[in-house]
Amino acid sequence: MESYRTEEEQVEALRNWWKENGRSTIVGIVLALGLGFGWQAWQQSREQAAENASLLYQQMLEQLGAQLSPGEAANDSDKAKEIAEQIKEAYRGSVYAQFAALHLARLAVNEGRLEAAEQELRWVLSMASSGDDVHQLAQLRLARVVAAQGDPEGALAMLEGARTELVASYALTRGDILMAQGREDDARIAYETAVAALEAESPVPPGLQEKLQYLNARRAESGN
C-alpha cells in the first residue's frame, strides 16, 4: 500500500480498501482455514482407519498362529475368517483388506474349496495396483488354483507376458504347472529360467534344485 502523508488519509484508505476487498479476504481466510482443518481431519481419519485396520489384521494373525489343540483349530480358523471378512468390508481400499483376502484364499485351498480361493484371489487382483507385489502374488497363487481346478492352459496363460520382477517365482510356478501335465522338457526349461534368475541375487532353494536334477536325470535316461 502506498505511503500517505497523514494518519487520517491512511485510515480513510484502509476503510476504502476494506470495503472493496475485505469481504473476499475473509472468505479466502475462512476457506484456507477450512481446507487446512479439513485436510488435517482427513489425514487423521486416514491414520485412524489404517491403525484400526492394522489392529484387526494383527488379531487375525494371532488367531491363525495361536497354538491350540486340534479340537480348537477349526474354531480358531473361523474366528480368523470373521476378522478377515470384517477387514475386507470395513477397509476395502486398504492393503490390509488385500492381505486378508490372500489369507482367506490360503485357508480355502487348505480346506479344498478351490472356487472360494479363486474368488478371493480375483478380488485381490481387482483391488491391487497392477504390477505391484500383492497383485503379482495373487496372480501366482491364482494360476496354481486354476491349474488345480483342471485348467492348466488357462493357468499358463495368466503367467504369459507378465511384466514382473519376480521372474524366478513366475518361472517356478510355470514349471510346476507344466510338470503336473507331464510336459517334462518344458518344465525343465522353466526351472532353468528360475535358477538363472535366482543365482544372480540369492541362493537357489533346495526344492527347486531337486526338481531340476530329477528332470535332468530323466532326460539322460531317455537319451535326449
* Domains along the chain with CATH numbers: 53-63+73-162 (1.25.40), 165-224 (no CATH)
Q: Please tell me the distance from the alpha carbon of residue 201 to that of residue 190, in angstroms, as a whole number.
A: 18
Residue 20 exposed, middle or buried by CB count within 10 Å (0-12, 13-18, 19+) = exposed
Q: Please tell me the distance from the alpha carbon of residue 52 to that of residue 19, in angstroms, as a whole number.
A: 50
List, for residues 184-217, the tens digit of each pLDDT value.
Answer: 999 999 999 988 888 766 778 888 889 989 898 8
Tell me which DSSP letter residue 205 carries.
P
Residue 1 has pLDDT above 50, yes or no: no
Quickly tell me which residue has 497383485 as its cell: 135
Q: Please tell me the distance from the alpha carbon of residue 13 to that of residue 4, in angstroms, as a whole number.
A: 9
List, for residues 124-161, the tens digit of each pLDDT value.
Answer: 999 998 878 899 899 999 999 999 999 999 999 999 86
CB 123: neighbour CB atoms within 10 A?
19
Please give the pLDDT value at position 218.
Answer: 84
Q: Please tell me the distance from the alpha carbon of residue 44 to that of residue 46, in angstroms, as a whole number.
A: 5
Sign, Cα dihedral of 96, 97, 101, 103: positive
Tell me which DSSP letter residue 112 carries.
T
For residues 104 and 47, the model is more confident at: 104
* 101 and 88 Cβ atoms separated by less than 8 Å: yes
